[in-house]
Structure 1
Amino acid sequence: MIYEPKVVKVETGFESDSTVDIDEITFDKECLNIAVKSKSWSIKAHFDAIYGFRVLDEGDLGEFWSECNLKTGWCFEVIDGGWNALENTREHFITGKLYQPREYLIIGLNECVSVLAFEQPKVVETSSSNKPL
C-alpha cells in the first residue's frame, strides 16, 4: 500500500533553513516538547496533549520530501498519507476511530518527529543568535 502524503506548512514565525535540527524531545503525561534550533533561532514546539509520537531518521520518510523539506518549512500538518493514515489501517487503532487526531511532522537535518495531537503546537522562542550580547 503506497501513501501519497498531503501536507500543509504550519506558519510558526520562524523561517526554515538548511541548519534546522531537532535538539531535544521531552515527554510526560501532560505534554510533549520538541526543541528545534537553526543558526538563526531556537524554539520549543509545545503540544499540550498528544495521542502519540514517533521519531524517525529523515531517510525513512522519503515519500514526504517532494512537498516537505527544509527549503519549504520545518513544521507541517499532514492532512493525509502519513503515520496517522497508516495507523488507521489497523483494526485495533482505537485512537483513530474515537478521536480523529491531527498529525504534525517536525523535520530536521537528521531526525523527524511525527505527532498525533488534538491541536497544532504552540511555538515559543527559547533563545536567538540574532539578539545583541
Structure 2
Amino acid sequence: MSIETQPFFSTNFFHDTSDVESLNYAHGNLTIIVACSRINGIVRGLKVHFTRPSGFRLLDESDLTRYWVSDGFARGSYVLEVKQGGWSTEEDTLETFERVRREWLVVSGNACVSVFCSCAPDVTDVSWEWGDESD
C-alpha cells in the first residue's frame, strides 16, 4: 500500500531509539508523549495533544513496514499528516465507502500512533529525568 505523508512538526533530530512513552485518552482528548532522546539522565521528547479525536490505534513500527517502504513516506519528523493511503484508506476499503477524515501519524523508532482528528494537534517540547514517573 502506498502512503503519502507530510511533516507537520519539524525537528532537527530523529532518533531510531525513540518510543511512545505514554498514551492517555481522557475526557475526549488524546495526549501522546514521545521520548525522543536521553542524554545524561534527561529525556527530551514531545507532547502531542489531540482535541476530540474520533479514533486512534497504536502499533509497533514493524507492523507498519508497508508505510516505511513507500516513496511517499516523509522521514525525519515525529508528527505527520497522512494525505493518502494509511489507516483511513484501509477503513474505507473495509467499509466499502469513502469517508472524509483527517489522519495523523505520530512516529517513533518503536511504537507509532495513528489518529483520526479533524483538528491539527498541539505539539510542545517536554523533558523529564529518566526514571521520573511523574510525567
Runs (4 or more) in structure 1 with deviation over 3 Å come to 12-15, 66-69, 90-93
Distance 2:120 2:13 in 1: 17
Distance 2:128 2:58 in 1: 25
Say whether the 8 Å CA contact 1:51–1:101 is kept in structure 2.
no
Distance 1:14 1:30 in 2: 31
Unaligned 5+ runs, structure 2 = 39-43, 130-135
Structure 2 counterparts to residues 1-133 of structure 1, below 5 A = 3-13=1-11, 15-39=13-37, 41-66=44-69, 67-68=72-73, 72-91=76-95, 97=99, 100-127=100-127
Unaligned 5+ runs, structure 1 = none
The CA deviation at 1:75 is 1.3
> When you count strand as a share of all residues, which structure comes out higher?
2
SS in 1 for 2:28: coil
The CA deviation at 1:13 is 4.7
Say whether the 8 Å CA contact 1:20–1:74 is kept in structure 2.
no
Counterpart residue identity of residue 53, structure 1: F
Query: Could you state the TM-score of these two structures normalised by the residue count of structure 2?
Result: 0.77
Q: Deviations 1:53-110 (Å, cap 9, x if unpaired)?
A: 00111111111113547x52221111111000111123377xx63xx22111111122
The CA deviation at 1:17 is 2.3
Using a 3 Å threshold, how does the CA distance of structure 1 residues 88 and 29 change in structure 2: closer, same or farther?
farther
What is the percent sequence identity of the aligned residues? Answer: 30
Distance 1:28 1:116 in 2: 16
